[in-house]
């Protein structure tokens, strides 16, 4: 589950990580109130207005703007709230902005220039340990840094039993070129950041930029926080932060129905049992020249009710021009699935407007094929995997 920037920062701050402070607002009047309150609390005279959507690259897309007066806070907030913000990480049409974070300006002038670093905490799948990834090249696209100047990205693996050690935090601060007070601040920053990561069962923290202010404070200007869904049951306070407006409607509905569904961009709807078979089905569709519209694992009980729910969910996507049902009957018998498909089809009447190709293999596959073939419905049966994919291409070509 993804958190908004402001939620992530509050989480970090509750573990002692210094942050750029801010107050969230969902209209421009509240934005001005927030700005006034921040001015009282922090002494700031300039503010940044930051669109809160679940996507990065907001700055480039015009979703992060500096305001030098309360009038500018109002006008900038008014223009950002309600806009469809397009960034390299949003869908092509953008994402609607429902709220802005009014944050203190932390790039104020002083003895030194402010400096931006990159820092993330994530699982190193190679070593099976959490690692801290960091770089002096903050503020920009870390993928570009990784491509052009990979030697500027450092990693530090953390022993799961020992946690982050003092020498590791110091090494990170040194590698970032820090000294004096900034070095001390960075040690505290990294240590509390790692503690926050472990204690919130996060799967990703990405802080870009981490800022060294002109007076040598170290703080998080941005936050991308992803919490492991499987751990949410023991973090009720974090689970409550879920913002369904940010999520794909069809995925939310599928999840509520207990289906494992991921929306994709193609035109071939897939209904499959088992994640592995679902992946190979998507591969085969692509190899045959098609594009999967979704990943959908209906799980072990592909009965009529479930098959119908799955059809309804797949058909909510207007891009779907054909549906491929690919079920392997191991524990679940193919003839039962076939009956499920037939019943669901009959129940749904005119709701099904696209051709359906069904491939059932395994227990009672012969009986299943016979059921489908004799049903008189507009359902095309196939026995082999490749044959099914070819039939999908044929119906799409017509």
Does residue 350 sit in helix, strand or coil? helix
Residue number closest to Mn ion, CB atom: 222
48 Ramachandran zone, left/alpha/beta (phi>0; psi -120 to 50): beta
Residue number closest to ligand GDP, CB atom: 59
Distance CA 341, CA 337 (A): 6
Structure tokens at 396: 């799409």
- The answer to whether residues 130 and 197 touch, using CB atoms and an 8 Å cutoff, is yes
When the beta carbons of 185 and 206 are compared against ligand GDP, the nearer one is 206
- Member of 17, 34, 49, 64 binding ligand GDP (CB under 6 A): 64
Closest contact distance (angstroms) between CB of 397 and Mn ion is: 45
When the beta carbons of 101 and 323 are compared against Mn ion, the nearer one is 101
Mask for 215-244, x = binds Mn ion (CB under 5 A): -------x----------------------
Q: At what angle do helices 70-80 and 28-42 cross, to 10 degrees?
A: 140
Contacts of ligand GDP in 104-123 (CB under 6 A): 105-107
- The answer to whether residues 49 and 31 touch, using CB atoms and an 8 Å cutoff, is yes
DSSP letters for 32-90: HHHHHHHHHHH--S-EEEEE--S-S-TTTTT-EEEESSHHHHHHHHHHHTT-EE--TTS
Q: Which stretch binds ligand GDP (CB under 6 A): 55-63, 151-159, 184-192, 312-320?
A: 55-63
Closest contact distance (angstroms) between CB of 56 and ligand GDP is: 5
261 catalytic per annotation: no
Distance CA 106, CA 91 (A): 30
- Member of 97, 187, 194, 209 binding ligand GDP (CB under 6 A): 209
Q: How far is CA 199 from the centre of its chain?
A: 20
Instruction: Tell whether residue 52 is a contact of Mn ion (CB under 5 A).
Output: no
Q: Taking the CB of residue 234, how many other CB atoms lie within 10 A of it? A: 9
Q: Which stretch binds ligand GDP (CB under 6 A): 32-40, 57-65, 120-128, 321-329?
A: 57-65
Closest contact distance (angstroms) between CB of 46 and ligand GDP is: 7
Instruction: Tell whether residue 206 is a contact of ligand GDP (CB under 6 A).
Output: no
Which of Mn ion, ligand GDP, none sits in contact with 142, Cβ below 5 to 8 A by type? none
Contacts of residue 58, Cβ cutoff 8 Å, sequence gap at least 6? 50, 51, 64, 85, 87
Instruction: Tell whether residue 158 is a contact of ligand GDP (CB under 6 A).
Output: no
Which of ligand GDP, Mn ion, none sits in contact with 105, Cβ below 5 to 8 A by type? ligand GDP
- In the set 5, 104, 185, 206, the catalytic residue is 206
Contacts with ligand GDP: how many residues (CB under 6 A)? 18
* Torsion angle of the four alpha carbons 233, 238, 240, 246, in this order, in degrees rounded to the nearest 10: -110
Structure tokens at 258: 């207990």
Contacts with Mn ion: how many residues (CB under 5 A)? 2
Contacts of Mn ion in 187-206 (CB under 5 A): none
Q: Where are the alpha helices (DSSP H) in 176-263?
A: 180-199, 236-239, 249-256
When the beta carbons of 87 and 130 are compared against Mn ion, the nearer one is 87
- In the set 5, 115, 117, 118, the catalytic residue is 118
Q: Which stretch binds ligand GDP (CB under 6 A): 49-57, 68-76, 292-300, 311-319?
A: 49-57
118 catalytic per annotation: yes
- Member of 191, 208, 223, 381 binding Mn ion (CB under 5 A): 208
When the beta carbons of 99 and 168 are compared against Mn ion, the nearer one is 99
Instruction: Tell whether residue 66 is a contact of ligand GDP (CB under 6 A).
Output: yes
Instruction: Tell whether residue 139 is a contact of ligand GDP (CB under 6 A).
Output: yes
- Picking from 327, 311, 322, the residue whose alpha carbon sits closest to that of residue 288 is 322
Q: Where are the alpha helices (DSSP H) in the chain?
A: 5-14, 28-42, 70-80, 142-148, 166-175, 180-199, 236-239, 249-256, 275-287, 304-315, 334-348, 365-374, 385-397
Closest contact distance (angstroms) between CB of 72 and ligand GDP is: 13
Active site residues: 118, 206
Positions touching ligand GDP (CB under 6 A) are: 20, 48, 50, 56-59, 64, 66, 103, 105-107, 139, 208-209, 221-222
- Residues in touch with Mn ion (CB under 5 A): 208, 222
């Amino acid at each position: 589950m993804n958190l908004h920037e402001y939620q992530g920062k509050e989480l970090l701050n509750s573990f002692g990580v210094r942050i750029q402070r801010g107050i969230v607002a969902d209209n421009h009047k509240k934005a001005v109130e927030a700005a006034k309150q921040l001015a009282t609390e922090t002494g700031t005279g300039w503010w940044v207005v930051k669109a809160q959507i679940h996507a990065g690259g907001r700055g480039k897309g015009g979703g992060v703007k500096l305001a030098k007066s309360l009038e500018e806070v109002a006008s900038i907030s008014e223009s950002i709230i309600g806009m469809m913000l397009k960034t390299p990480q949003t869908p092509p049409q953008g994402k609607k902005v429902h709220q802005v974070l009014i944050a203190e300006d932390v790039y104020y002038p002083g003895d030194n220039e402010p400096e931006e670093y990159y820092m993330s905490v994530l699982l190193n799948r190679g070593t099976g340990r959490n690692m801290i990834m960091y770089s002096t090249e903050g503020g920009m696209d870390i993928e570009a840094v990784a491509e052009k100047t990979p030697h500027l990205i450092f990693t530090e693996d953390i022993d799961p039993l020992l946690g982050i050690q003092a020498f590791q935090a110091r090494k990170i601060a040194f590698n970032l070129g820090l000294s004096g007070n900034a070095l001390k601040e960075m040690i505290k920053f990294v240590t509390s950041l790692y503690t926050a990561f472990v204690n919130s069962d996060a799967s990703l923290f990405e802080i870009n930029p981490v800022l060294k202010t002109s007076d040598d404070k170290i703080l998080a200007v941005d936050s991308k926080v992803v919490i492991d869904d499987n751990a949410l049951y023991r973090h009720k306070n974090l689970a409550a932060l879920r913002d369904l407006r940010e999520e794909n409607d069809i995925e939310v509905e599928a999840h509520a129905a207990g289906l494992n569904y991921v929306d994709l961009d193609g035109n071939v709807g897939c209904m499959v049992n088992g994640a592995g078979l679902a992946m190979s089905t998507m591969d085969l569709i692509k190899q045959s020249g098609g594009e999967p519209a979704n990943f959908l694992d209906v799980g072990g009980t592909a009965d009529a009710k479930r098959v119908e729910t799955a059809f309804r969910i797949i058909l909510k996507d207007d891009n779907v021009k054909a549906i491929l049902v690919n079920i392997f009957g191991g524990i679940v018998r193919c003839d039962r699935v076939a009956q499920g498909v037939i019943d669901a089809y009959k129940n749904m009447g005119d709701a099904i407007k696209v051709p359906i190709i069904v491939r059932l293999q395994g227990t009672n596959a012969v009986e299943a094929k016979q059921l489908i073939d004799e049903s008189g419905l507009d359902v095309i049966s196939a026995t082999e995997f490749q044959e099914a994919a070819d039939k999908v291409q044929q119906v799409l070509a017509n």
